[in-house]
Amino acid sequence: MIEETIISKAIIESYLKDLLNSVESDVIIGGAGPSGLCAGYYLAKKGYKTLLFERGLKPGGGMSGGGMMFNRIVVQDEARSMLDEFDIRCHEYKPGYYIANSLEATACLTDKALKAGLKIFNLVSVEDVIVRENSVNGAVINWSSVKMAKLHIDPLAFKSKIVIDATGHPCEITHIVETKSGGKLLTSSGKIEGEKSMWAEVAERLTLENTKEVYPNLYVCGMAANAVFGGPRMGPIFGGMLLSGKKLAEIVMKKI
């Protein structure tokens, strides 16, 4: 016999247990694209209590869409070893260019991150941050559907030592800090520099260079890093995104 109320209780109790245990953590990541998932994987694997809030239904960000809805992505030589680490199959198209299925890549990244201990909460948006003494000390979250429905419902606060903006092109968390903090970002202008037009070669390099702290205890990776520091977009080549997440995890581990 299957009882519907037992199903309901199992879901509610299990989810709330995870949520209550996550109110205080080491790291909060906003955005479950490839760089956010990679950062979360490496941090959780090393034992850091790491949460990831994704406003959408599914993880993956822009990776699952491949290039113009062709579900294939390209990864260059520098990140080839990361495909192996995440058990993502690929084949060499031309020397230095590796093709992978974008859906498999998304699934493998998510699977590895979850099994490493990363807590992913989907359908949750970071709508504000906690700032104390000119330092980011956590995130303020709400259900994504609240914003979509334009409901006036107060959010909840989650405390952390570090916050990572992995929200991609919009760099949403950094925008919040720029607008509300009253302080300057660690960019040349003190503000978000803005994303430039596509240039894959330069973007792949700058994605890594721009992966760093942008405000005390706020870090950026992936396309959010290029948008904040003024780098170009790179299109459906994802080596830089994977390497950016790994690099940021290493930076954050040294910080905390």
Calculate the CA dihedral of residues 95, 108, 225, 118 and round it to 10 degrees: -150
Q: What pLDDT digit, counting tens, does each position of 71-118 carry? A: 999 999 999 999 999 999 999 999 999 999 999 999 999 999 999 999
Return all residues near 113 (Cβ < 8 A) that are at least 6 apart: 37, 38, 40, 41, 44, 52, 120
Q: In the structure, what pLDDT confidence band is assigned to residue 125 with cuts at 50, 70 and 90?
A: very high
Question: Which residue type is seen at 219?
Answer: Y
Helix 200-209, helix 239-255: angle, nearest 10: 10
Q: In the structure, what pLDDT confidence band is assigned to residue 181 with cuts at 50, 70 and 90?
A: confident
Mean pLDDT for the stretch of residues 114-143:
97
Residues 79 and 94 sit within 8 Å (Cβ to Cβ): no
Instruction: Say if residue 10's pLDDT is above 90.
Output: yes
Instruction: Say if residue 164's pLDDT is above 90.
Output: yes
- What pLDDT was estimated at residue 225? 98
Mean pLDDT for the stretch of residues 11-28:
98
Helix 200-209, helix 222-229: angle, nearest 10: 90
Q: What pLDDT digit, counting tens, does each position of 148-162 carry? A: 999 999 999 999 999
Mean pLDDT for the stretch of residues 126-143:
96
Percent of the chain's residues with pLDDT above 90: 98
CA-CA distance, 36 to 12, in Å (whole number)? 26
- Pure H helices in the chain: 4-20, 34-45, 80-85, 102-116, 144-148, 172-180, 200-209, 222-229, 239-255
Mean pLDDT for the stretch of residues 197-207:
96
Q: Where are the domains of the chain?
A: 21-62+115-255
- What pLDDT was estimated at residue 183? 80
- What pLDDT was estimated at residue 53? 98
SS3 content of the chain, % helix, strand, coil (to 5): 40, 25, 35
Say how many C-beta atoms besides its own lie within 10 A of residue 248's C-beta: 30
CATH architecture designation of domain 21-62+115-255: 3-Layer(bba) Sandwich (3.50)
The pTM for the full model equals 0.97
- What pLDDT was estimated at residue 67? 96
Token pair, residue 49, equals 């209590």
Instruction: Say if residue 253's pLDDT is above 90.
Output: yes
Q: Read out DSSP for 138-167?
A: EEEEEEHHHHHTT-----EEEEEEEEEE--
Nearest to 233 by CA among 254, 202, 187, 210: 202
Buried b (16+ CB within 10 A) or exposed e, 50-66: bbbbbbeeebbbbbbbb
